[in-house]
Amino acid sequence: MKELTIENAKNELMAIQQKLAAYEHAMAILQYDGATAAPKETAANRGVSLSVLSEEVYKLSTSDDTVEILEFLDLNKEKLDAKTNRMVYLMLKDLREMKKIPMKEYVAYQQLLVEADDVWHRAKEASDFEMFRPLLEQLFETNKRFAHYVSPEKDAYDYCLNQYEEGLNKKTLDEFFGKLRENIVPLLKKISAVPQVDDSVRFGSFSDKKQEELAYYLMKTIGLDLGHVGLSTTEHPFTISLGSHHDVRITTKYVPDDFVCSMYSVIHEGGHALYDTGSAEDLAYTVLDGGTAMSIHESQSRFYENIIGRSRAFCNYVFPFLQQLFPAELKDRTADELYIAVNKAEPSLIRTEADELTYSLHVMIRYELEKRVMAGELEVKDLPKEWNKLYKEYLGIDVPDDKHGVLQDSHWSGGLIGYFPSYALGNAYGAQFLSKMKETVDVDACIEKGDFEPINKWNRENIWQYGRLYTPAEILNRVLGTDFNADYYIAYLTEKVKDIYGV
Amino acid sequence: MKELTIENAKNELMAIQQKLAAYEHAMAILQYDGATAAPKETAANRGVSLSVLSEEVYKLSTSDDTVEILEFLDLNKEKLDAKTNRMVYLMLKDLREMKKIPMKEYVAYQQLLVEADDVWHRAKEASDFEMFRPLLEQLFETNKRFAHYVSPEKDAYDYCLNQYEEGLNKKTLDEFFGKLRENIVPLLKKISAVPQVDDSVRFGSFSDKKQEELAYYLMKTIGLDLGHVGLSTTEHPFTISLGSHHDVRITTKYVPDDFVCSMYSVIHEGGHALYDTGSAEDLAYTVLDGGTAMSIHESQSRFYENIIGRSRAFCNYVFPFLQQLFPAELKDRTADELYIAVNKAEPSLIRTEADELTYSLHVMIRYELEKRVMAGELEVKDLPKEWNKLYKEYLGIDVPDDKHGVLQDSHWSGGLIGYFPSYALGNAYGAQFLSKMKETVDVDACIEKGDFEPINKWNRENIWQYGRLYTPAEILNRVLGTDFNADYYIAYLTEKVKDIYGV
């Protein structure tokens, strides 16, 4: 390699990132295809290519040339701009972690993920936890092993949490969830003492075609650029960036007798897509492109889904369109009925269909379980039993089978251990962002008019444009001028319950 | 690199091929996604990743290590099995050709293809040849330049033809097309002298959903394994293999008022998919996987589409299903009416919708034009005028605009110059295969029963399993025990015309 200067090292750094972005584009589209268009028996074939590609990512990320460039730039950090410094920091951090994981095990893990995804789908369909158990054991074991390789001094589950949120740990979460439980459980009790609300407005017969029309309408309404954001259907909705923030896909699932499911799924994934596509132009094809952490990501998706999407103003705004789209079902209905229906709070089995109030309890259960498995206090084989026990304890309901229980989520099969808490944190961050946003934006008035640009502008300027330039804590401090405080979220939930149930 | 032995060089060869297969998988899925699910303005983003990946393919294919392994194995060819020898031969041939093309130009061409595809789609939609012209000029120029780099001694168009069929040249094609013209034009004249047949059975109102049901029925009927073969919709139907013959996708397009379009498109692409998925298991992830040449590929797709699909026996077999699927449209119709309708011969504008008889004339026009552009006898800017002139001359019809004329096909925008003749050759090969197959298989009886296994078995044993192990000429000689002869095809067409028109 020729002698390094700041100039050529920076160019090399950009070239390496572009190459990594291309490999990741390839891997992401293979995964996206697997979830959308691929024939059923082709997972192994994708696994072969994914393992080759992930090996290339590993090699490129850890090559002597890459290391030399990163270390050179790291030594010269005072001469670099903030963006380059952050790229170097994140890449060196990944590199040092990766170097501690033997390549063979890293590649084997990529293959395990492909197989696990496939088996989990079939196990869920058959409601057969035993089918999935050996893979889930391997997934937890591998995560424990990797945690030990990378941070032997750290608690293995804290290591997992840090994959999704720098600096997060069990202590913080135990407190956070404790606070939520203390406040949500009494709210649920109050609700159970008054008559349940009527949510019949959401039910009827809604063709895929019309639901798709609704999905595109919602995507446009919240301000997504359909030239760069695509929509497909999958069993489990998700958002994925392909190559850069110039190509983002969201997915949804149409439930034939309930248009509300896909409606809020689209707004949720749409929130992710707004965040992803909102990265500053010069972040494309760098490691700073996209969102900074899953919690901030969820703060955006759940901000659009719940804080905006389940507001009275939003129900008022979209109702005329809904009425026109589904005249047979909605001609004698009102926006107010919709507002009540989409805010009905009731303990239920499925996290993704849970209401805003009980949602965090679903997350808490997963947090408790994966924390205990990672600590060796719970065996994978006992997960279904414990799952069902906690659903009874926190939500008061019986789980009829594993399909509606421990097999319901795709996260563990995708290796996302430590991810779940992001959902609950995201909810709480979102409520605090809202309070700040309201200082300068008349949020309800904007929603009522369907004018999302002032809201999106605030999010873009304060959050989206920075991609991964700042840590979640930095983003929170920059935006809020203060630390995170879950009280905003508690207050928000309490007010919503009062508005819907009068208690 | 450690010292080479036959054993480790063979292992290295397999590893290189698996890596190439993974890169090609990635590139193929990016292209497939571009044609199926991708949002409109994401082509440039895919282009960035495709150029990185194609650069990696180039580097790996031409690296010193790869060259050393291939040359070592080539020197030891008498110690190798036939399959390994063929792999080495094909890879060395590609390598030597590739080495003659500067990497920058190769990568730039990949990007040009992405842009050309995008612009062609928009130009076609706007029926605006001028929009596409600059790109088409670059495509032809690049093909000329590459031809000159690789085979300066060879005619540039012969070089292009050889990309799709080893050993093919203008001389052979001039004779072949001459023979077709001599025979088809008189047949067309005879038909124009008698009353045209009634094809009204194909028209009506056919929902996408029912046409999709028909598509899956046809895929199953002809013996495709739906666990490994997927279906999507695109503007222009195609077949693509992803990674290996374990994952093949076909696409179709549903025309709302004519179920026959998608029906035969599915059978055509299904024929390609049968060939691709029929490779022997040990060819997966090697350069021998898939089909040997486009002409043999087209011989299979057009064999299923026309020879089988437009036979009286097939119409009899599928008609009850069609009648059940489209009761309103078909309840008073007969299989015989379908047979007549799908064999109606009439000069028309669009190649992909052309009948079996006039089809080769469409191909001939494209052959004439690209031959002349490559020879410098015709400028790209004059293509629309010449296109329209030849349609008048051979088919006697006026082309109303470029959308229905020179912009109709995706081939040139995809860089496939020299591909078109494969279609006509494929037709002719197919007729000769049929005659051979009939020596041992009662083809009509099988079709009448919907029992495709004896037919597929014959094709699998004689053609599919070998992948690229043999050249097209070798396949023909092995299967037929004699040289290719277009007379079988002429006889087949003559008989069909007699059966439909009585002339």
B122 DSSP β-pair partners:
none
Q: A226 with B39: CB under 8 angstroms?
A: yes
Residue B306 is classified by DSSP as I
- Interface touch A29/B30, C-beta < 8 Å: yes
Is the separation of the CB atoms in A65 and A38 below 8 Å?
no
pLDDT value, residue A1: 58
Residue position matching structure tokens 């507002």: A339
Contact criterion met (CB < 8 Å) for B56 and A53: no
From the number of C-beta atoms within 10 Å of its C-beta (0-12, 13-18, 19+), residue B236 rates as middle
Q: Specify the length of chain A in residues.
A: 503
A contacts of B227 (beta carbons < 8 Å): 39-42
Q: Find, in chain B, the residue whose alpha carbon is nearest to that of A229.
A: B39
**Among A267-271, A347-351, B30-34, B94-98, the least confident range:** B94-98
Check pLDDT > 80 for residue B25.
Answer: yes
Predicted confidence band at B3 (pLDDT cuts at 50, 70, 90)? confident
Contact state of B37 with A38 under an 8 Å Cβ cutoff: no
Judge: A244–B33 Cβ closer than 8 Å, yes or no.
no
d(CA A196, CA A355): 14
Of A37, A49, A230, the CB nearest to B39: A230
Nearest to A232 among B32, B37, B49 (CB): B37
**pLDDT (0 to 100) of residue A236:** 85
Give the pairing type, strands A244-252 and A229-233.
parallel
What is the radius of gyration, based on Cα positions, of chain B? 23
- Asked if the Cβ–Cβ distance from B42 to A246 is below 8 Å, we say yes
- The beta-carbon neighbor of A40 closest among B25, B227, B232 is B227
Q: What is the pLDDT of residue B103?
A: 83
The shortest C-alpha distance from B215 to chain A (Å) reads 15
pLDDT in tens, B258-277: 999 999 999 999 999 999 99
Of A39, A45, A226, the CB nearest to B243: A45
Chain A: closest CA distance from residue B118 (Å) = 13
Residue-level pLDDT at B123: 97
Instruction: Determine whether the interchain pair A226/B39 forms a contact, defined as Cβ–Cβ distance below 8 Å.
Output: yes
- B282 and B83 in contact (C-beta within 8 Å)? yes
pLDDT at B434 over 70: yes
Q: Bridge-partner residues for A240, per DSSP?
A: A249
For A244, the closest chain B residue by CA position comes to B45
Out of B39, B229, B242, name the one closest to residue A227 (CB).
B39
Run means of pLDDT, 10 residues per run, chain A, 503 residues = 88 97 97 95 92 91 95 97 97 91 88 91 96 98 97 96 91 95 92 96 97 98 98 93 97 97 97 98 97 93 97 98 98 98 96 92 97 97 98 93 96 96 94 97 97 98 97 93 93 97 95
Q: Minimal Cα distance from A15: which residue of B?
A: B52
Determine contact, residues B371/B157, Cβ cutoff 8 Å. Answer: yes
Q: Identify which of B22, B37, B39 has the shortest CB distance to residue A228.
A: B39
- For residue A340, the model assigns a pLDDT of 98
Give A321→chain B minimum CA distance, Å. Answer: 24
Strand B229-233 vs strand B239-242: parallel, antiparallel, or unpaired? unpaired
pLDDT at B2 over 80: no
CB contact under 8 A, B49 and A21: yes
Could you give phi then psi for residue B244, rounded to 5 degrees?
A: -165, 180
Query: Nearest CA of chain B to the CA of A18: how many Å?
Result: 8
B406: closest CA among B437, B369, B433, B441? B369
Inter-chain CB proximity B40 and A229 less than 8 Å: no
Contact A429, A127 (CB under 8 A): no
Tell me the DSSP string of B26-67.
Answer: HHHHHHHHHHTT--GGGHHHHHHHHHHHHHHHHHHHH-HHHH
CB proximity list for B353: less than 8 A, separation 6 or greater: B261
Q: Looking at CA atoms only, how far is residue A274 from chain B in angstroms?
A: 15
> Nearest-CA neighbor of B427 among B303, B329, B333?
B303
Residue B18's pLDDT is what? 96
DSSP 8-state code for residue B4: P
How far is the C-alpha of A162 from the C-alpha of A410, rounded, in Å? 20
- Rounded CA gap, A68 and A215, in Å? 48
Mean pLDDT of B484-491: 95
Residues 6+ apart with CB under 8 A from A326: A204, A206, A210, A259
Q: Does the pLDDT value for residue B295 go beyond 70?
A: yes
Residue B1, pLDDT > 70, answer no
A212 is catalytic: no
Per-residue confidence (pLDDT) for residue A352, from 0 to 100: 84
What is the enclosing helix (H) or strand (E) of B249?
strand B244-252
Q: Which residues of A fall within a CB distance of 8 Å from B224?
A: none
Burial of A22 (0-12, 13-18, 19+ CB in 10 A): buried
Contact in structure between B279 and B465 (CB atoms under 8 Å): yes
CB contact under 8 A, B244 and A48: yes
Contact B73, B13 (CB under 8 A): yes
Return the residue in A17, A45, A225, A252 with the most chain B beta carbons within 10 A, the one to mutate for interface testing: A45
Please check whether residue A421 is in contact with residue A168, taking contact to mean a CB–CB distance below 8 angstroms. Answer: yes
Interchain proximity B48–A228, CB inside 8 Å: no
Q: What is the pLDDT of residue B99?
A: 86
Beta bridge partner(s), residue B230: B249
Residue B281's pLDDT is what? 97
Mean pLDDT, residues B291-313: 96
* Residue contact B53–A243, C-beta within 8 A: no
CA quadruple B294, B296, B300, B305: dihedral positive or negative? positive
Q: How far apart are CA B63 and CA B65, in angstroms?
A: 5
Contacts of A44 in chain B (CB under 8 A): 246
Contact B48/A243, CB-based, under 8 Å? Answer: yes
Residue B433: which residues within 8 A CB-CB, separation 6 or more? Answer: B299, B303, B459, B462, B463, B479, B480
pLDDT for position A33: 97
Active site residues of B: 269
Nearest CA distance, B245 vs chain A (angstrom): 9
Residue A406, burial from CB neighbour count under 10 angstroms (0-12, 13-18, 19+): buried
**Distance of alpha carbon B54 from alpha carbon A284, whole angstroms:** 20
Strand partners, A241: A248
Residue B107's pLDDT is what? 83
- Scan for tokens 């019809």, then name that residue: B397
Mean of the per-residue pLDDT values of chain B: 95
The model's pLDDT over B228-239, given as tens digits with 9 standing for 90+, comes to: 999 999 988 999
Nearest to A49 among B25, B227, B229 (CB): B25
Q: Pick from A17, A49, A254 the residue to mutate for testing the B interface (most B CBs within 10 Å).
A: A49
- Here the ipTM equals 0.88
pLDDT computed for residue B392 by the predictor: 93
